[in-house]
Each structure stands twice: as C-alpha cells, then as structure tokens.
C-alpha cells in the first residue's frame, strides 16, 4: 500500500529532521484517522520508526507512542543497540513512554519484546543500571534496600525464586519505571525474566574475566608484590554495574 506521508517522513528522517518526520505521521493520523496510521506503520521500516520514538519528549504527548502496536514497537526496540548508547537513556525513556501508556497492557509489550530475537537483550539493557536491585527483588521478593545484602542466588535457586509470588504488591511499587517493569516480568513473564537475568549475569562474569586478564598483564609490569586490592577498594556495586557496560560495547 502506498503512503505518501511515510515517504515524506522517511525523507525527513534521512535529512535529520526527526521532529518534521513525526509531524508528517501525526498529520496522516489527523487526516485519515488513527487506524490508517497504525496500518501504515506496519510498512514503515523499524529503523525509521525507532528514529522517531527514541526521541521521546516527556513534556509532550506523542501520537506515535500512543498508537504503535506491540509488534511494531518490539521490532524497533531490538535494533536500538545500533545507536551504541551505553547509558541506554533513550531506550528506557521510550520503553516507559510506550508500555506504560494508559488503557494498554504493558505485559503484552513485554511478552512481545521478550519473544522476539534479541528482545531479551534489549530488556537486559533496560535493567542494566538496576540489575543488582532486580537480583535482590528476586531473592527477597521486595525492593526494600534494607534487605539487600548484595548476595546472589545460585542459578537453580534464582530460577525457583522467580516463580514464587513477590512479597510486595504491584500497587505498592507502581512507578511506570524499572520497579514496575521488574514486578510485571516476575509476575507475568517469569521465563523472560530468567533469560534477562541470565544475560546480565553472563555479562558480569565476562567483565570479571576481562578484569582478571588485565590484572595478569599488570602483574608482568608491576611485579609480584603489587596489591590489586588497593586498585579496587571502594568500588563495590559500581564494579558490578560496569560489567554489563563492558559487554554492551563489545556486543554492538
């Protein structure tokens, strides 16, 4: 099907005018109806849809973010890593703005993303900054930091814990952000949460192995008496967080 508005939007995206591209799509919805835009977006390249929705501005409502379907959104989310944004700020912003929109089921979006090839990696990117807290949530059933002792469950115990009921109710932690996101994954998509945590744990393990390799190289230069504990003293959880960052850069 031929959609002149899509051709115009693609040209504007190519020229770097994302605001203009979004305006062209909104104009189509205004002139032909929301259903026409939803149908048109099925033929819109995922990379172009991503270019529009990743520039989400929380100060205004986006018609595109309100209308995009779970399938359309999932196809865009899995290629967001091509932007090589190691902070994943845009990823978190656009996911929050779309899956937590009013009168829609966020679980449908989470399930659709998680079942798409590369989707669990995108969900892992979303939780990157808070992954140790998510591990604690799985272990304790709550987001109370007072119960977080930094320990990690074995793989078997982690899997078993994911399938138990959280101690905290959803209405206690609704934030339209990572806590609600994590709660919904555990309660409604435990299989996907297990895969996401497995990915994050693998990244942490790979980071540790990389650091150990660097220390071995330093030993050759610094000599056997060098104390590496001084190099890492005080890093604590920040070291764990950098684990996924290191793997992210190599995976893109």
What is the length of the chain?
252
- In this prediction, residue 225 carries a pLDDT of 53
Diameter over CA atoms, the chain: 74
Residue 232 pLDDT grade (very low, low, confident, very high; cuts 50, 70, 90):
very low
Which tokens is 104 given?
Answer: 């829609």
**Residues 39, 125, 64, CA angle at the centre, nearest 5°?**
25
Rounded to an integer, what is the distance from CA 74 to the centroid of its chain? Answer: 11
Q: Residue range 153-169: average pLDDT?
A: 96
DSSP 64: H
Which runs of consecutive H residues, i.e. helices, occur in 128-236? 131-140, 155-162, 170-173, 178-188, 190-222, 229-232
| pLDDT at site 84 | 93
Spatial separation of the C-alpha atoms in residues 3 and 129, rounded to whole Å: 40
Average pLDDT, the chain: 86
Q: What is the dihedral of CA 5, 8, 14, 15, to 10 degrees?
A: -130
Residue 103 is classified by DSSP as T
Query: Alpha carbon of 83 to those of 89, 209, 244: distances in Å?
Result: 11, 26, 17
102-118 pLDDT tens trace: 888 999 999 999 999 99
Mean pLDDT of 164-170: 96
- At 6, is the pLDDT very low, low, confident or very high (cuts 50, 70, 90)? very high
Task: Answer whether residue 213 shows pLDDT above 60.
Answer: yes
pLDDT at residue 242 greater than cutoff 50: no
Q: In Å, what is the CA distance from 32 to each residue of 3, 39, 156?
A: 11, 11, 53
**Which pair of structure tokens corresponds to residue 164?**
């138990």
Q: Inform me whether the pLDDT recorded for 222 exceeds 70.
A: no
* Percentage with pLDDT > 70 across the chain: 84
* Residue owning tokens 């919805």: 29
127-131, 139-143, 211-215: least confidently modelled range: 211-215
- The pLDDT assigned to 221 comes to 59
Average pLDDT over every residue of 216-229: 54
Digit-coded pLDDT (tens) for 17-65: 999 999 999 999 999 999 999 999 999 999 999 999 998 777 677 889 9
Specify the pLDDT at position 247: 44
Q: What gap in Å lies between CA 148 and CA 188, rounded to an integer?
A: 23
Distance CA 11, CA 237 (A): 45
Answer for the pair 159, 198: CB distance below 8 angstroms, yes or no. no
Is residue 67 within 8 Å of residue 25, measured between CB atoms?
A: no
Please give the angle made by the CA atoms of 97, 195 and 166, to the nearest 5 degrees.
70
Q: What is the mean pLDDT of residues 155-168?
A: 96
pLDDT digits (tens, 9 = 90+) for 54-96: 987 776 778 899 999 999 999 999 999 999 999 999 999 999 9
For 210, other C-beta atoms within 10 Å of its C-beta total: 14
């Amino acid at each position: 099907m031929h959609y002149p508005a899509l051709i115009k939007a693609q040209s504007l995206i190519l020229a770097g005018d994302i605001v203009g591209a979004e305006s062209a799509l909104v104009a189509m919805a205004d002139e032909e109806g929301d259903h026409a835009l939803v149908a048109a977006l099925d033929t819109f390249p995922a990379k172009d849809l991503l270019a529009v929705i990743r520039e989400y501005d929380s100060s205004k409502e986006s018609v595109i973010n309100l209308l995009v379907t779970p399938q359309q959104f999932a196809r865009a989310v899995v290629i967001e890593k091509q932007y090589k944004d190691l902070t994943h700020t845009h990823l978190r912003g656009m996911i929050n703005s779309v899956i937590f929109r009013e009168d829609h089921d966020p679980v449908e979006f989470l399930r659709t993303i998680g079942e798409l090839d590369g989707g669990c990696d995108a969900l892992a990117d979303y939780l990157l900054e808070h992954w140790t807290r998510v591990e604690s949530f799985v272990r304790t059933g709550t987001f109370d930091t007072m119960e977080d002792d930094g320990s990690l469950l074995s793989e078997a115990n982690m899997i078993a814990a994911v399938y138990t009921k959280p101690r905290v109710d959803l209405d206690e932690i609704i934030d339209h952000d990572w806590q609600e996101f994590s709660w919904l994954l555990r309660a409604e998509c435990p299989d996907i949460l297990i895969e996401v945590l497995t990915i994050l744990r693998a990244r942490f393990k790979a980071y540790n192995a990389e650091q150990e390799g660097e220390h071995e190289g330093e030993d050759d230069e610094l000599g056997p008496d060098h104390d590496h504990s001084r190099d890492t003293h005080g890093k604590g959880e920040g070291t764990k967080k950098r684990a996924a960052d290191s793997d992210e850069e190599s995976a893109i």
